[in-house]
Amino acid sequence: MNKKELFYISVTIFLTIIAWVLIDAYKVDLAIKGEKQGQSLINKKISLDVSILKVLKEKKPYEL
């Protein structure tokens, strides 16, 4: 293997590692944004319409 081939292999490995680190950093950023979004959903007040539950309770399941 001559020096030129060794150089190309080294550059390819280096660029692969750089891409790998950038992709992992992007995934972490997405996870943090998703976590913040989830927290905002948890903090919201949820109102439950009881009349819908009553209608569902009265319905009979489909029989074969």
Comparing 25 with 35, which gets the higher pLDDT? 25
Question: Residue 63 falls within a domain, yes or no?
Answer: no
Q: Is residue 48 part of a domain?
A: yes
3-31 pLDDT, tens digit each? 999 999 999 999 999 999 999 999 999 88
d(CA 38, CA 32): 10
**Residue 64: pLDDT over 60:** no
* 17, part of any domain: yes
Q: Which residues span the domain enclosing 36?
A: 3-58
The radius of gyration of the chain's CA atoms, rounded to the nearest angstrom, is 28
pTM as predicted: 0.53
Count the domains in the chain: 1
Nearest to 25 by CA among 57, 2, 4, 17: 17
Residue 22: what pLDDT?
A: 96
